[in-house]
Structure 1
Amino acid sequence: MMKVSDIRIRDPFVLTDYKTNTYYLYGTTDDNTWSGKGTGFNAYRSADLREWEGPFSAFRPPEDFWGETNFWAPEVTYYNDHYYMLATFKAEHRCRGTQLLVADHPLGPFKPLTSSPVTPSEWECLDGTLFIDEKNHPWMVFCREWLQVQDGEIYAVRLSQDLKKSMGEPVLLFKASEANWTVPSKGVNYVTDGPFIYRTNDDHLLMLWSSHGRYGYSMGVARSPSGTIVGPWKHDHEMLFKKDGGHGMIFRTFEGRLMLTVHAPNAMPNERAILMEVTEESGKLHLLE
């Protein structure tokens, strides 16, 4: 058994699984996340968020898998009686994209759902997250990278019910520079990372997303007062996590507490998942000290 502080991980994602009464922690777990051949994704499990078991091999690429490098940011959702993993991959002469994988258990083994990513093949994309709207239609929210567009963008695209293909063209939600808290990298490049959608008690949609702020890697909040994924999206002035950490998500404990996890610090090899309790008041999230 280990503490979460013992686990090196980026882009943490916690699944509260009611079928097994267990928490599962996923994230970017390769030793070299930026270059070199991708190994796969490890996962960890816990009954209480304090003591963790693992690592378990949740995904290892089959021989014919298209992805070669940049195995990033897996998240897992229980949907239509299966566990679906959305994760980012890259290959030589192919754009980075979000691939869906599927399994019958939270620890996998996860297998590719299709032979290619669901993000546009000609776009450099990452960090897809699954959202189910009020009509039970699945959507994927994802980033289009600053590497290709300079001012990073976040899009939503509707998916088929079986999650195997997109239904229509991606809808631009916003650009990174539209938020007042973002700071360009190297003077011109605005980053979009790690979107995650949360519905408030008053039926607004919040999006947690990360970029560079005045204190380093940070996480802010955008909101859709219409309650729809296509927005329009407005940005909170105050960041939720201000300094040297981000790519977060929100989950509820089995007791009903609202929790935020991010990785911090942002520098290799010291990244760790941090778990913090949050409250929601009048549609706003507040970290508890």
Structure 2
Amino acid sequence: MSQSTPIESTTLAYTNPVYPSYFADPFVWEYQGVYYAIGTGEAEAEGEVDEAGEQRVFPLLRSHNLVDWQSAGRAMLRPDASLGNNFWAPEVAYWDGTFYLYYSVGHEDKNHQLRVATSDRPLGPYKDIGKPLLEAEPYPFAIDPHPFQDDDGQWYLFYACDFLDTEGDARAGTALMVDRLESMTKLAGEAKVVLRAHQDWQRFLENRPMYGGTYDWHTLEGASVRRHEGRYYCFYSGGRWETENYGVDYGVADQVMGPYSDAGNEAGPRVLRTVAHRVLGPGHNSIVLAPDRQTEYIVYHAWDTNRTARRLCLDKLVWTPEGPCCNGPTWTPQMISMGNRNS
């Protein structure tokens, strides 16, 4: 647990990381005055989930101030073991009395499918509904589902999947899609491309053997969407998650289904990027309001300097006339406003 120090009655100090254990791909949401975080645990990432009993997957955390986090067990009853041992990047949406946990499961870096589980409580247990959100063809690898509700109440699902073509100077690799949710457990089948990779910093690996060929493989993943002043901002992580080139950038659109543009990122990710010898590979973010109900924070994972674990971090999100930016990644004490809530 992080050390939090009262600065004054409405402010706390924190230092990243705010949770000491492995906690990748963090998604944070608030429900009835309590913050919850769900993410990819070390076992889920490495494919070391066993098959004994009613095994649960995906670590859960709970907090009353966004700074001090306590373990709250694991979220989801493990589905059919034949689906795979790697469980990645869960996110939770609450709608009409039910919590929906979107996630991907598969075998290492192949045959990953999007699925959803439900619960009537934020801490679960969540139970898989028994079918994938996307068919294996033409999506043998689909990851990082992100549910987004627009102002009119309509839900959408952003996710990442693989492309092999290089049309319009796009790079082969994993990129972002969006589809309308016909219900919370069924896609409408109206999928559109959100963003493709075009920059060298988004490279995952040169000469990567994939799908029977060899590719200069690029990756965009971990979508997180925010509507701000009438426009849609799709934050995403690009590059290779294990290295210092991984970071957070964004695309912007006038309509939720696009078209999106991330022009202006030629020099690298504009929201979060590595700070040499301090913070490595910050990425896979979500966005949440601070306890003051006004200040937005970007929640993300980052490696320690020895690259032994990805851990939970948070920093203030700032909106400028040029677009969103962040005062992080930080590694020194920061202040967060508590508003009128108890700290």
Structure of higher CA gyration radius = 2
Structure 2 CA distance for aligned equivalents of residues 206 and 236 of structure 1: 14
Structure 1 CA distance for aligned equivalents of residues 288 and 263 of structure 2: 21
Shift of 1:229: 2.4
Select the residue among 239, 243, 250 that pairs with 2:270.
239
1:34 aligns with 2:46: yes
Select the residue among 117, 129, 133 that pairs with 2:146.
129
Output one character per residue of 1:244-272: Cα deviation in whole Å (capped at 9) or x when no partner: 12111111123121001111018863211
- Kept after mapping to 2: 8 A contact 1:204/1:283: no
- Kept after mapping to 2: 8 A contact 1:30/1:41: no
Structure 1 CA distance for aligned equivalents of residues 95 and 36 of structure 2: 16
Gaps of 5+ in 2: 3-17, 51-55, 166-170, 208-215, 275-280, 329-343
Q: What TM-score comes out, normalization by structure 2 length?
A: 0.73
Alignment: residue pair count: 279
Kindly, what percent of the aligned residue pairs are identical? Answer: 21
Aligned to 2:237: 210
Alignment of 1:52-201 (within 5 A): 52-62=69-79, 64=80, 67-91=83-107, 95-112=111-128, 114-122=129-137, 123=139, 124-145=141-162, 150-161=172-183, 163-177=184-198, 179=199, 181-186=201-206, 188-200=216-228
Name the SS of the counterpart of 1:186 in structure 2. strand
- Which moves more between the two structures, 236-245 or 180-189? 180-189
Shift of 1:146: 6.1
Shift of 1:33: 1.2
- Kept after mapping to 1: 8 A contact 2:113/2:142: yes
- Which moves more between the two structures, 101-110 or 132-141? 132-141
- Kept after mapping to 2: 8 A contact 1:40/1:60: yes
Select the residue among 250, 255, 258 that pairs with 1:227.
255
Structure 2 CA distance for aligned equivalents of residues 197 and 110 of structure 1: 24
Shift of 1:134: 4.2
Aligned letter for 2:174? G
Structure 1 CA distance for aligned equivalents of residues 312 and 81 of structure 2: 28
Aligned to 2:23: 9
Q: Between the two structures, name the one with larger relative contact order (CA 8 Å, sep ≥ 6).
A: 2
Structure 2 CA distance for aligned equivalents of residues 68 and 147 of structure 1: 24
Shift of 1:58: 1.3
Name the SS of the counterpart of 2:193 in structure 1. strand
Structure 1 CA distance for aligned equivalents of residues 36 and 322 of structure 2: 27
Output one character per residue of 1:70-89: Cα deviation in whole Å (capped at 9) or x when no partner: 11111112122211111111
Output one character per residue of 1:109-155: Cα deviation in whole Å (capped at 9) or x when no partner: 1111x312212322110001011234422211110036999322211
**Cα RMSD, aligned residues only:** 2.7
